C-alpha cells in the first residue's frame, strides 16, 4: 500500500486494502466462533488442577468469550491503520485510538457492575468496534469507497460458513466432561478433534459458498509449500 500510495495509484491501494480486509474476515470470523465455543474447555485443559478448579475455568472462559467477540474488530484495525500510514497520515489512527481508550473506560465503568470481569472484556471488544468504525469512516472520507459491498459480502459468507462449523465444534466438545480433573489426553483429543473438524467444515462450506478468500488461501498455501 505504501508503494501504491507513493505512485499515486489509489485504485490499486483500495484493491489491496479490500483484499486484506476480506482475508482478515475469512480467517478471524471462524476463529472468533471457535474461541467462543471452546473458551471454558481451553482453560479446563490448560490450567485445571489443584487450586484452579472448574469454577475458575468457567470464570476465565467468560472473559475469553467476551474478548473473542472483538477478535475480528482488532484484526480489522491492524489492516486499516497501515493504510493511513501509507497515506502519510499518522494523526488519525492516534485520534481514533484515544477515542477507543475513552470508550473502553466508559464501557468498563458501565458494564463491570452487571457483568463483573466479563464486562471489562466486553468493554475492550466494544472499544475495538468503535475504533474500527471510526477508521473506516475517516478512510472513506480520505480515499472514497473501497469495496464496502464486497467486504460485507465476504463477511456474510464467513458467518454462514461458520454456522455448520460451530455445530460440529459444539458436538465435539460435548464428548467429554470438562469439569472433571485429569483426563488430559482425552481432553487434548476432543479439543484437537473439534479444531480439526471446525477447520475442515468451514473450509468446505466456504468453497461451496464460492468464497474468493478460500481460493486465495489455497493459492497462498500451495505457493508457500512449493517454494519450500
Nearest-5° Cα angle at 155, 38 to 76: 80
* Total of domains in the chain: 1
Residues 113-126 pLDDT 10s: 999 999 999 999 99
With b for 16 or more beta-carbon neighbours within 10 A and e for fewer, the 155-170 pattern comes to bebbeebbeebbebbe
Residues 11-70 pLDDT 10s: 999 999 999 999 999 999 999 999 999 999 999 999 998 889 999 999 999 999 999 999
Domain housing 127 = 2-227
Q: What is the pTM of this model?
A: 0.91
User: Mean pLDDT lowest for which of 103-117, 169-183, 207-221?
Assistant: 207-221
Amino acid at each position: 500500500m505504501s508503494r501504491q500510495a507513493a505512485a499515486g495509484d489509489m485504485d490499486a491501494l483500495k484493491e489491496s486494502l479490500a483484499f486484506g480486509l476480506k482475508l482478515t474476515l475469512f480467517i478471524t470470523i471462524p476463529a472468533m466462533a471457535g474461541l467462543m465455543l471452546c473458551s471454558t474447555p481451553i482453560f479446563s485443559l490448560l490450567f485445571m488442577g489443584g487450586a484452579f478448579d472448574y469454577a475458575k475455568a468457567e470464570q476465565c472462559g467468560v472473559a475469553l468469550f467476551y474478548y473473542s467477540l472483538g477478535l475480528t474488530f482488532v484484526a480489522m484495525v491492524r489492516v486499516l491503520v497501515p493504510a493511513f500510514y501509507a497515506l502519510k497520515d499518522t494523526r488519525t489512527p492516534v485520534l481514533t485510538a484515544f477515542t477507543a481508550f475513552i470508550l473502553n473506560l466508559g464501557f468498563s465503568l458501565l458494564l463491570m457492575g452487571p457483568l463483573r470481569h466479563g464486562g471489562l472484556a466486553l468493554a475492550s471488544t466494544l472499544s475495538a468496534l468503535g475504533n474500527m468504525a471510526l477508521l473506516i469512516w475517516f478512510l472513506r472520507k480520505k480515499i472514497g469507497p473501497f469495496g464496502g459491498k464486497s467486504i460485507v459480502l465476504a463477511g456474510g459468507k464467513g458467518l454462514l460458513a461458520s454456522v455448520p462449523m460451530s455445530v460440529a465444534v459444539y458436538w465435539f466438545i460435548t464428548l467429554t466432561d470438562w469439569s472433571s480433573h485429569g483426563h488430559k489426553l482425552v481432553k487434548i483429543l476432543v479439543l484437537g478433534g473439534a479444531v480439526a473438524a471446525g477447520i475442515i467444515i468451514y473450509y468446505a462450506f466456504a468453497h461451496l459458498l464460492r468464497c474468493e478468500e478460500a481460493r486465495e488461501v489455497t493459492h497462498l498455501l500451495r505457493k508457500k509449500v512449493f517454494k519450500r
